[in-house]
Amino acid sequence: MSTNIRVRFAPSPTGFLHIGGLRAVLFDYLIAKTLGGKLILRIEDTDKKRQVAGAVEGLINILDWVGIKFDEGPHLGGEFGPYIQSERKEIYKEHAEALLKKSGAYRCFCSEDRLKKMREERQAEKLPPRYDRVCRNLSEQDIIEKLAKNEPFVIRQKIPESGEIIAHDELRGGIKFAVQDLDDQVLIKTDGLPTYQFANVVDDHLMKISHVLRGDEWIPSFPKNILLYQGFNWEPPKFIHLTLTLNKEGSKLSKRQGDIAVEDFRAKGYLPEPLLNFCVLQGWHPSASDKAPKEKTDEILSLDQMVEYFDFKDMGTSPAIFDVAKLDYFNGFYIREMSLEKLTKLCLPFLGENLKLTADSKKQELDYIQKVIGLEQERLKKLAEIGELTAFMFADDLQYESKLLIWKKITPEQIKINLQTVFELLEKISEAEWNKKNIEEVIMGYIKTQKFKVGDYLWPMRVALTGREASPGPFEVAEVLGAAECLKRINQAIKKL
């Protein structure tokens, strides 16, 4: 492990892990792993207004569920702690003092009222929306007096008057900014807590972070970060700005338009592997990699394969589009690939309501449940759908309308006769021979001797067994239900006609 490669994930504990956050932590992980370095979790909780109780534990839990392992963090410790910003207040204070001494920052005593008025005036004059730098020119004497009077103040960054700054992004190259457009941003607020802009730079430096991967919404303030590094005389880390994830309509993903929290995806029965597989393609593609085998044309990638093929230099800079249909496709793929034992275990929490439907204890046994899940494994896209898809396999009394039994133009009388025939045929199969193959042979063998078509028997048989317009095929359902239950259901259907 290379000790000088250190990558951090720095979420704010605002209540849930956004799917965009999962994408960021995955890329952090991949950068750390491919370069043989460490992954660090740092909680950025200096904005007290945005905090939610229990959010840190929630974040750690969900990251653990996803399978992203950290080397250092609030839950693991490490030599660069504390890893929660609110526990580092003194560190920021010391560094702010140091910056004041180096003339890289100054105290600003302007009141909220004055700032508001100033903003309105600047707006009226069509000047850029930034602080007018009044407190930059306070004399030493003014400052001493104001401090003696306990006047509240913030500490602002002293941006040079003019010139140009080139901030280097690993994917975009040098980005040029005119210094005169930059605001003397607040570094320490009146409550003594740092802003993101200050804490982030101080922590990345003190925690010896080598690569900073973050959203491209931070590009406008990027030059100010670089100026801070210069003010402290620190070497900046390498920066990689991730493009936003947009929805299909091209706007920012927001809670209003549906689920964006990883917890929501988990609750619906998405699995960690497809979520990660989906996220990695939002900003990188194996086709860009020299390391990925050329014959690999599908986009299915395990975490290990990602580590094998990934290189952050191959990441793209165009916005990623969040296409849930693709996520569903991946989820379905991983569900199909999984062993039935594992799938059953994962589905159990989603079956609770179904198990209540039945008084029949056989239907509550694991063996039966596993066979039921096996019926749906091919089709299942999200685990949470399993309850609805399989409810008919647990019901003691199927509810459906008799007209559902009717196939095309066949009369109810004829359907009844066909079902009676099916009943008699099935009745002859012994318990030991009750399996899909035999059931199919018996029923299909009979149908071939008749003038009727396959659907004239199989449609009512399938509806009788499932009560559904769409379901797995009648033979596989019959095998799992078992002889007694099948005959009971067919009998009930006959009585409906």
Closest to ligand GLU by CB, 196 or 446 = 196
Question: At closest approach, how far in Å is the CB of 301 from ligand GLU?
Answer: 24
SS3 of residue 6 by DSSP: strand
Nearer to ligand GLU, 153 or 222 (CB): 222
Of 66, 67, 26, the C-alpha closest to 306 is 26
Sign (positive/negative) of CA torsion 354, 359, 364, 368?
Answer: negative
Shortest CB 28 distance to ligand GLU, Å: 9
**What is the rounded (10 degree) CA torsion for 204, 206, 207, 208?**
80
d(C-alpha 40, C-alpha 42), whole Å: 6
CB within 8 A of 467, min separation 6: which ones?
A: 392, 395, 398, 399, 400, 404
Sheet architecture: strand order including 6-9: 38-41, 6-9, 211-215, 238-242, 164-169, 173-178
Between 45 and 184, CB nearer to ligand GLU: 45
- 488 labelled catalytic: no
Residue 157's closest CA among 96, 218, 202, 109? 96
Q: 214 to each of 25, 217, 366, how far by Cα in Å? A: 9, 8, 46
Nearer to ligand GLU, 13 or 286 (CB): 13
Q: Would you tell me how many other CB atoms lie within 10 Å of the CB of residue 411?
A: 10
Residue whose CB is less far from ligand GLU, 40 or 276: 40
In which element (H, E) is residue 89 found? helix 89-101
Q: Which of 255, 356, 403, 437 is labelled catalytic?
A: 255
Give the residue from 331, 347, 461, 339 showing the smallest Cα distance to 404: 461
Residue (13 or 231) nearer to ligand GLU, CB: 13
**Binding positions for ligand GLU, rule: CB under 6 A:** 10-12, 44, 196, 200, 214
What is the set of active-site residues? 255
